[in-house]
Chain A
Amino acid sequence: MKITPKQYAQSLYELAADKPEAEVLVVLKTFVEMLIKNLDYGKIDEILANFARIYDEAHGELAVNLSSARTLSAESESDIANYLKNKTGFSKINFSTKIDTALIGGMVVRYGDKILDASLKNNLNNLKDKISQ
């Protein structure tokens, strides 16, 4: 049976999370050895991404990708964070922000599989579609 990156990440989390550092080092050493034995070290990026997600989920944290046309004020950011907290039930929101002038105005919020497109670019595109109908 092939082991998927998700399964690796899940077992890594179960073995290593909430353990003292010395123990974690031992676990990691055997984990890497197993990856090499199974010739699965190419999957390491995916495993790490999955691991980060599983870890965040277990600790009530949500990684959010926030792109906006201009730098957002701390106030707006906390508004968005509160909105997402209410919506998803996570207790902590980790933003990674990005400035994307191609959006013209507004912002795009991404988390997990979801996307919330409140950019002016998307808005104009929708208007274009509607008028050309």
Chain B
Amino acid sequence: MANKDFIIEQIKKQISDFKNEIKEQTVGRVLKVSDGIALISGLADVMMSEILIFKSNGHEISGVALNLEENMVGAIILGEFTMIKEGDEVLSTKRILEVPVGEKLIGRVVNPLGEPIDGKGKIEAAAFYPVEKIAPGVITRASVKDPMQTGIKAIDAMIPIGRGQRELIIGDRQIGKTAIAIDAIINQKGQNMKCIYVGIGQKESKVANIVAKLEESGAMEYTTIVLAGASNPSSLLYIAPYAGCAMAEYFLDKGEDVLIVYDDLSKHAVAYREISLLLRRPPGREAYPGDVFYLHSRLLERACKLSAEFGGGSITALPIIETQAGDVSAYIPTNVISITDGQIYLEPDLFYQGNRPAVNAGLSVSRVGSSAQIKAMKKVAGKMRLEAAQYRELAAFAQFGSDLDIDTKNKLERGKRLYEILKQDQYAPVAVEKQVLLYYGLINGFFDNVPVDHVREFEAGLLKYADLNNDALKLIVDKKELSEEVEVAVKKVLEDYKATLDYLI
């Protein structure tokens, strides 16, 4: 126990040890404050994106220099800007904007400056990383080859995502874009993956729900949430994805795999447009500034797969874009589509027909992911994609005529079952070996005599049965390919389970 004297001695010691360095500081004065933007005179040798400290009534508020002009400096204010007055002193710090990073951030909810907002106390940072960083170059990169399993049947089979890939999730409001990202995070349990969810301009209530869901499913053990809420100033919204990426880069540098979700980049572009217009940068198309493409390309380039000599880590990015009335040809969606390695397109029509997740298999692509699928999945997925494409074509065609030959009829029936299998509930990811089992069953006709309205029931039962007699699933996990031995085991599970049923046609 520390006694009174000890405490007093310690305080005395600390005070006598305290040495105040007199540092020469560069100061400027606030000329104008408006809407989170300050114009500052002076600060002759300030750097681009340097942290500035606004001193106002004894409060210190930080800001970032964004515009360096001949007579003044334009800065965004990170925080409460109503206290800052004209004529207030502004100090430069000689530090580029940086955020705390480290293992201690895992399981926490932080703002874009790395300060905790979950009420669980202070976070000790392992290091500070700059918010803006040039992406890894060609030499340091390797090609994408490991799968990032989302646990969503429609995606893992037809639009596979690899570790280090950038896959855009695009669609109208309220059709399950965030749900896909959250399911992907939940499915990373035990996959050696750190996850970062960056909420940009999201409702705090929605994020509170997400946190609760992640905690419930045990996903917060490897997840950090960076939140710039709808009520935060746009300066914070603007730096949020870069800050999240800096936190991911800490793990990347340690050779780990990270999944980062940017939810969503359309609000980010809007926040940047606001800042740019207030800083009087000239507006371009849809009033976005000229560098709005660079805004997102420099962010998404930081997602990468490093080669083994450079640690072999990866950052997989899942940016989300919200479209207006399905218009993917608007400015920001086309920009981000061209930057990313593919997109998952969610369609309102499918959503309202009850096909959830409402992934449009025709318009969704993954440009690099198929090399990252495990062999067993590759084998069944190729055939599946073909079946799906044939069904879509025939279904449109078959609406006109009733007389169909037997072959077409069979194709249509199988297609219906396929679309039933692709339906999936939220927060219920399916492991890859189970997906292989399902698809193998489908393309080899094991589903053909299951009535369409019983397919989901059949699927649930089959997976449960396979769990109990898990030789087949284990074989798929171990061998990772469909060798003869594995095929025999898989067939046996399917046949055995079907023998127990009474509703088959």
Contact = CB atoms under 8 A, between A and B. Distances in A.
Contact of A113 (B14, B18, B44, B70): B44
Contact of A117 (B11, B22, B71): B22
A113 B27 contact: yes
A36 interface: no
Contact of B25 (A114, A123, A130, A131): A114
B217 interface: no
Contacts of A126: 18, 20
Given A127-B15, A127-B18, A130-B18, A116 B43 contact: no
A20 interface: no
A114 B26 CA distance: 4
Contacts of B22: 116-118
Contact of B71 (A6, A110, A112, A122): A6
Nearest to A125: B58
Interface string B21-58: 01011111000000000000011110000000000000
Contacts of A117: 22, 25
B24 A113 contact: no
Residue with the highest number of chain B CB atoms closer than 10 Å, among A117, A118, A126: A117
Interface residues of B, number: 18
A4 B25 CA distance: 27
A115 interface: yes
A4 B71 CA distance: 9
B28 A113 contact: yes
Contact of B24 (A6, A116, A127): A116
Contacts of A116: 22, 24-25
Main secondary structure of the interface of B (DSSP, over half): mixed
A115 B44 contact: no
A126 B43 CA distance: 22
Nearest to B91: A115
Interface in A39-77: none
Given A113-B42, A126-B20, A131 B71 contact: no
Interface string A89-133: 000000000000000000000101111111000110011001100
Contacts, number: 40
Interface string A76-95: 00000000000000000000
B44 to A, nearest CB: 5
Given A127-B15, A131-B14, A114 B24 contact: yes
A100 to B, nearest CB: 15
A116 to B, nearest CB: 5
A6 B70 CA distance: 10
A116 B21 CA distance: 11
Contact of A115 (B27, B45, B71): B27
A24 to B, nearest CB: 26
A11 to B, nearest CB: 15
Contacts of B42: 113
Nearest to A106: B22
Interface string A4-34: 1010000000000000000000000000000
Contacts of A123: 20
A110 B89 CA distance: 12
Nearest to B89: A115
A118 B25 CA distance: 11
Nearest to B29: A113
A92 B70 CA distance: 27
Contacts of B45: 113
Contacts of A112: 44
Given A6-B71, A118-B22, A127-B20, A113 B15 contact: no
Nearest to B28: A113
A110 B22 CA distance: 13
Given A4-B71, A6-B71, A115 B24 contact: yes
Contacts of A118: 22
Contacts of A6: 70-71
A20 B70 CA distance: 32
A117 B24 CA distance: 7
A110 B26 CA distance: 10
A65 B407 CA distance: 94
Interface in B66-96: 70-71, 89
A130 B71 CA distance: 36
Contacts of A122: 20
A118 B471 CA distance: 76
In the complex, the 10 A-B pairs of residues with the closest C-beta atoms, listed nearest first: A113-B42, A123-B20, A118-B22, A115-B27, A113-B44, A116-B24, A113-B26, A115-B25, A127-B18, A126-B20
30 contacts: A4-B70, A6-B70, A6-B71, A110-B27, A113-B26, A113-B27, A113-B28, A113-B42, A113-B44, A113-B45, A114-B24, A114-B25, A115-B24, A115-B25, A116-B24, A116-B25, A117-B22, A117-B25, A118-B22, A122-B20, A123-B20, A126-B18, A126-B20, A127-B15, A127-B18, A127-B20, A130-B14, A131-B11, A131-B14, A131-B15
Given A113-B44, A126-B20, A127-B18, 5 more contacts: A4-B70, A113-B26, A113-B42, A123-B20, A130-B18
